[in-house]
Structure 1
Amino acid sequence: MPDPQAHPRADVELRLPADGVYVSVVRTTTAGLAARLDFLIDDIEDLRIAVGEACAMVLPEADADSDLVCSYYLSPGTLTVRVAVTAGNPSGPEYDSFAWQVLSTMATRAEADASGGQFSVSLTMESGVPGAGS
């Protein structure tokens, strides 16, 4: 996951109303960034699905006036996405939910955090392209 000390801000940040109608924008943005990093088509589709599931986990926890903030951290062969909402009293991640199972299966790494007045899910995907990370 991104280290705030080593990488103080996202390479790309998208801020939208915390409403499910905008998940398609998040999925399309994610796919576009992965394509720019030369991810394989199958990896891009896995990312689109995983990001959709991450949004499905955080949106029900959002406060009424919250934004859905998507932060993208780019490096050769790797894309990390963090989706977060302001949540005054988040119930925390449900690790046995279908959404978490899909997300953690498709992503290389995944984690959730319900602290500091936010609920966030972060996922990292590494490209299947040989030599992409070198």
Structure 2
Amino acid sequence: MSPDRVTLTVPARGEYAKTVRMTAAELASRIGMSYDDVDDVRMAAEEAFVFACSRAGSDGEVTFVMDVGDNGLTIAAGPLPERSELDVDEESGDRYAAFILEAVCDEFEIRSSGETCTLTLAKYLSVATEG
């Protein structure tokens, strides 16, 4: 079965962070993720939103594509403007977001393609093991 796709485009302003965060968390809960994994998805969505907004600017929009599959949730944010070499101060925020995303996601990647980039992350359903 192909994954269900939810596309959400929001203004790149802080008051929309909760919309993105809660949508991602609800989708994770819907497919049966554990409470801890839903919390990881919530945190990942928040960091992805902050990362995307820092690139889009306050007058921009950010599009999130969330693919809900049998084995987990994939979220892509973008396309986003690529950073110029002059944005050194902003890069420290990118490094912090990357640190958090690497900690709470099963997969995390920033793909650059010319003047744009796309942030992609995934969280998979945990398989319970008998102990």
TM-score calculated relative to the size of structure 1: 0.78
Give me the identity figure in percent. 28
2:6 maps to which residue?
Answer: 12
2:22 counterpart (21, 28, 36): 28
Deviation per CA, 1:19-78: give whole Å up to 9, x if none: 121011000000110111011010000011011111111211115642110101111121
Distance 1:62 1:49, change over 3 A: same
Larger CA Rg, structure 1 vs 2? 2
Residue 123 of structure 2 corresponds to residue 113 of structure 1: no
1:83 maps to which residue?
Answer: 77
Are the equivalent residues in 2 in contact too, given 1:72–1:82 (CA < 8 A)? yes
1:97 counterpart (95, 98, 101): 95
Which consecutive unaligned segments of at least 5 residues does structure 2 have?
Answer: none
Q: Which structure has more helix as a fraction of its residues?
A: 2
1:40 counterpart (31, 34, 42): 34
Report which stretch shifted further, 96-105 or 40-49. 96-105
Are the equivalent residues in 2 in contact too, given 1:39–1:129 (CA < 8 A)? no
Are the equivalent residues in 2 in contact too, given 1:73–1:81 (CA < 8 A)? yes
- Alpha-carbon offset, residue 114 of structure 1: 3.4
Could you say what the CA RMSD is over the residues aligned between the two structures, in angstroms? Answer: 2.8
Are the equivalent residues in 1 in contact too, given 2:80–2:116 (CA < 8 A)? yes
Are the equivalent residues in 2 in contact too, given 1:18–1:85 (CA < 8 A)? no
Are the equivalent residues in 2 in contact too, given 1:58–1:119 (CA < 8 A)? no
**Letter of the 1:27 counterpart:** R
Are the equivalent residues in 2 in contact too, given 1:66–1:86 (CA < 8 A)? no
- Aligned pairs for 1:58-77 (under 5 A) are 58-63=52-57, 65-77=59-71
Distance 1:119 1:65, change over 3 A: farther
Secondary structure of 1:74 counterpart? strand
